[in-house]
Structure 1
């Protein structure tokens, strides 16, 4: 039996009302998928940057994959300015979140269920070091930010560079000491553009396998 026959058989045996519900089930499944949640988090960061950061002073670069000695590292967003370069990672979570800057693992609690997950600051540390090596930046010129999106609540005091949604904008704006000359800002942007891998499905899948 070929695909046409299978489809015809399904159409003859499934009530018409059910067919109308199938697209809704597909949409619901997509919305709940990790891919969609990740995209939603990235959209929050992108929109906040476009609305609240001056484009003449802050330069947003999205979805950057860079080569490393043992594969690749992926950075959701890099914001380059005279106040330094900001590596921004997004994490979609729900429930109560417990942790601090020094703990290797943090805790997520949803109702009575608790589970450990890697401290996102530690998880993104590799990104920062890769960037510093590529761009020739010092520790005082590089900032790491983690943005939590989703229905979650911090139940312990969090480091100032771990924020909800668009709250990361406040962290960036309080950095007022000039750390990069305008010429260096442009060189950093050019180095990222020349060093990054092309944004393709193939490269994304390759990164996930590493």
Structure 2
């Protein structure tokens, strides 16, 4: 038991130091407004119970995945996908794409944030071997001019519902040493927050969504 706790603390320390170093070298990086709103909201959580990471880019077998926020606690690990869309939002849990309607009849399609977050969770499991039941998915919309027009799961929220939703999970499902180990592993694996990392991720997404690649996947 002592060995397990010690190894978890070592993993956390190494990961935290590397993560801190990466953050110190990210002066030019700018996050979008929606993510900044969520960062501000997450500061309301009790720091003695929750550990928050923001803008985490992790390596995958094919490229990278970018996670907006992760909140760690003994009550679960909350993986948050943030959206700043306004207007009417239509989408179902298993729809591949959702639709945004704006004034004037304009409409836009965007990739389902629920499916995005499923992929994020799979990648976290691959890196940490954390049990899937400890990971909780959240999709949060920050724009007060947004309105859901279809029935959605309870984990799709407006920003003013976020803190209450996280705090409602009040049963311990993750022991403290495993939580520390998971934090350390993700801090260790995450890429430096920088314009270069962001560019690399965008290039990977564009490559993945190219017509040639789409045809290959069909």
Query: TM over 0.5, yes or no?
Result: yes
CA RMSD of aligned residues (A): 1.7
Q: CA deviation at 1:179?
A: 1.2
8 A Cα contact 2:38 2:142, kept in partner? no
Q: Give the structure-2-normalised TM-score.
A: 0.75
1:131 to 118, 124, 134: 124
Matched, 1:67 2:59: yes
Structure 2 gaps of 5+ residues are 1-28, 205-218
User: Hey, what's the Cα distance between the residues in 2 that align with 1:205 and 1:104?
Assistant: 25
With 160-169 and 78-87 compared, the bigger mean Cα shift is at 160-169
> Which residue matches 1:93?
85
Q: CA deviation at 1:109?
A: 1.2
Q: CA deviation at 1:94?
A: 1.2
**Higher RCO, 1 vs 2 (CA within 8 Å, ≥6 residues apart):** 2
1:197 to 180, 191, 198: 191
User: Hey, what's the Cα distance between the residues in 2 that align with 1:203 and 1:102?
Assistant: 30
Q: CA deviation at 1:114?
A: 2.8
> Which residue matches 2:50?
58
User: Hey, what's the Cα distance between the residues in 1 that align with 2:121 and 2:135?
Assistant: 7
User: Hey, what's the Cα distance between the residues in 1 that align with 2:198 and 2:98?
Assistant: 27
With 142-151 and 98-107 compared, the bigger mean Cα shift is at 98-107
The DSSP-based 3-state class of the residue aligned with 2:43 is: helix
Paired residues for 1:1-150 under 5 Å: 39-51=32-44, 53-111=45-103, 112-150=105-143
Closer, same or farther in 2 for the Cα pair 1:86/1:209, shift >3 Å? same
Provide, for residues 174-196 of structure 1, a one-character-per-residue CA deviation record: whole Å limited to 9, x for no partner: 11221111111111111111111
Provide, for residues 52-71 of structure 1, a one-character-per-residue CA deviation record: whole Å limited to 9, x for no partner: x1111110011111000000
Q: How many residues align?
A: 174
Provide, for residues 33-61 of structure 1, a one-character-per-residue CA deviation record: whole Å limited to 9, x for no partner: xx98x62111211111112x111111001
Rg larger in structure: 1
Q: CA deviation at 1:141?
A: 0.6
- Where in structure 1 do 4 or more consecutive aligned residues deviate above 6 Å? none
Q: Give the structure-1-normalised TM-score.
A: 0.78
8 A Cα contact 1:60 1:77, kept in partner? yes
Provide, for residues 71-113 of structure 1, a one-character-per-residue CA deviation record: whole Å limited to 9, x for no partner: 0001111111001111111111011011221222222111322
Matched, 1:162 2:149: no
Structure 1 gaps of 5+ residues are 1-34
